[in-house]
Amino acid sequence: MADTPHPTYSADIAIIGGGIAGLWLLNRLASRGYNAVVLEKTALGSHQTVASQGMIHGGIKYTLGGALTGASEAIAEMPDHWRACLRGEGDVDLRGARVLSEHFYLWSSAGLGSRMGTFFASKATRGRVDRVKSADLPAVLRDPAFRGSVYKLVDMVVDTPSLIRALAANYPERLFRMDWQGANWQRDDDGGVALTLTGEDGRPFDLQAGAFVFAAGEGNEALLREVGCPAPAMQRRPLQQAMVRHRSEHRFYGHCLGTEATPRLTISSHPLADGSQVWYLGGTLAEKGVDMSADQLIAAARRELADLLPWLDLGSDAEWAALPVTRAEPRQRNFARPDEAFAKWAAGVDNVIAAWPTKLTLTPNLADRVEKLLRERRLEPSLAPAPALPLARPEPAATPWAKAFGVADAPA
């Protein structure tokens, strides 16, 4: 008896990965008329997205060496772009997302203030950085012992759980959870690939797409290998960030200037459902923390806070944890930081695009690049309904601090 053919579904675009890159791209393409879908193997926003500090920045933190770089110029317009979306006036509707802070501070010790002041007084940063007067200092820096300089950046901070939910809520019928263990790629007669998946009923089905967009972060490397694509290649930028849960009144979002090109310490505050908050600590501390044990990193974080904010008391009941994070990027010469988002047709397969936003703030730029690739291949939107795949819906991922401390994130 001949085998019964698998049911076949077709999509204009199938996006693999339900993080910020995949969800934003889905929203953009769906609004253009593409019957696009997202396939996620675990939870929406898992891994890199929920481990982000949520900073939407214009690149000023990359100018600490005293000069504007390609990276800073490429993303200078991003805060305004995101703000338009948060008002419902941009390319993607983010009105359901919560903004934790409308700006980010950059502060320094007295000894480093003159270098920072000279550069930020230049025309190159006009309109992007403002000196903060003593009367307007954030509460955590109002102690009489503070002698540094403080600047306010146009950067803002979004709450990543609410961002994921807002993007998912716009097109929930296009989001699917897949069993990656039961997935198989098949070559077609046109030099592309199709995907065989197992439905919720245990039966296989085929998914064909004009383009498969790999937007799975670190998972892109395995996906490209599975379809036989030698390029583009990926690099990893590992970090280990410290987290401290406390009930201090201080919510703070800031970079501390150090002697290196990246901030010495970055602090972002994230509310939990029980009224406590988590300070998420990044910057040079997180880069150097890769080579430390969790206990060593936490000890180093304690020392940094004691040195930079010696008057600060987070309370005797403060809890600490460490979080290893791997940022995935397209491979660069000398392991350089990518200046822009990256999207490129994969080598050897006609209908696969590999995409990395490289930074949360550059996600709209990634969607621009993918759309450009589609136009170049004349892959036009079909305006057809999205395929109703026989798969379950993925849930939003919990943040790493909610997992670490066993307390839910504060509702939006």
Query: Per-residue pLDDT tens for 336-365?
Result: 888 889 999 999 999 999 999 999 999 999
d(CA 293, CA 84): 42
Per-residue tokens: 171: 């097109």
* 152 and 130 Cβ atoms separated by less than 8 Å: yes
Residue type, 2: A
Per-residue tokens: 386: 């999205």
| E strand map for 37-103 | 37-40, 55-56, 99-101
Query: Of 241, 246, 316, whose CA–CA distance to 281 is shortest?
Result: 241
DSSP label of 173: G
Residue type, 117: G
pLDDT of residue 59: 73
Both ends of the chain: CA-CA distance in Å? 56
Tell me which residues of the chain have a pLDDT lower than 70.
Answer: 1-4, 60-74, 110-128
For residue 349, CA distances in Å to 230, 232, 331, 407 come to: 10, 12, 19, 45
d(CA 130, CA 120): 8
Q: Is domain 8-48+164-235+332-401 given the CATH code 3.40.50.2020 in the classification?
A: no
pLDDT of residue 127: 52
d(CA 110, CA 150): 10
pLDDT of residue 190: 84
Query: Of 223, 229, 189, whose CA–CA distance to 208 is shortest?
Result: 189
Beta bridge partners of 242: 281, 322
Say what the pTM is.
0.93
* Fold assignment, 60-157+237-327: D-Amino Acid Oxidase; Chain A, domain 2 (3.30.9)
Dihedral sign for Cα 65, 71, 73, 75, please.
negative
| The Cα angle at residue 314 between residues 300 and 146, in degrees rounded to 5 | 80
**Residue range(s) in the chain whose domain bears CATH number 3.50.50.60:** 8-48+164-235+332-401
pLDDT of residue 109: 72
Q: How many CA atoms lie within 13 A of 47 on its CB side?
A: 18
**Residue range(s) in the chain whose domain bears CATH number 3.30.9:** 60-157+237-327
| Residue listed under structure tokens 């919560």 | 98
